[in-house]
Structure 1
Amino acid sequence: MARGTIRYWAAAKEAAGVPEEPFEAANLAELVVNVTTGRDELAKVARRSSFLVDGHPVGTRAHEAIVLADGVTVEVLPPFAGG
Structure 2
Amino acid sequence: MESRTGADAADETVPSEQPITVRYWASARAAAGVETDALPVAGPLTLADVVRRSAALHPGTRLPGVLEACSMLVGDQPVKSRDPEEVTVRPGQTVEFLPPFAGG
TM-score over 0.5 for the pair? yes
Give 1:2 shift.
7.0
Structure-1 residue corresponding to 2:64:
43
- Judge conservation of contact 1:12–1:76 (CA < 8 Å) in 2: yes
Say whether 1:31 aligns with 2:50.
yes
Deviates more, 1:39-48 or 1:70-79: 39-48
Percentage of pairs with the same residue: 40
Are positions 1:19 and 2:38 aligned together?
no
The structure where strand makes up a greater share of residues is 1
**Alpha-carbon deviation of 1:75?**
0.2
Cα distance in 2 between the residues matched to 1:29 and 1:57: 15
TM-score by length of 1: 0.90
- Root-mean-square deviation (CA), in Å? 1.7
Looking at CA atoms only, which structure, 1 or 2, has the larger radius of gyration? 2
Q: How many residues align?
A: 83
Q: Which runs of 5+ in 1 are unaligned?
A: none
Larger RCO (CA under 8 A, 6+ residues apart): 1
1:3 positional shift: 2.5
Runs of at least 4 residues off by over 3 Å:
none
- Structure 2: stretches of 5+ with no match in the other structure: 1-16
Distance apart, 1:40 and its partner CA: 4.0
Shift, 1:27, TM fit: 1.1
> Aligned pair 1:60/2:76, yes or no?
no
TM-score, structure 2 length as denominator? 0.73
User: For 1:12-37, what per-residue CA distance to the aligned partner results, in whole angstroms no more than 9, with x for missing partners?
Assistant: 00000000010136111001111113
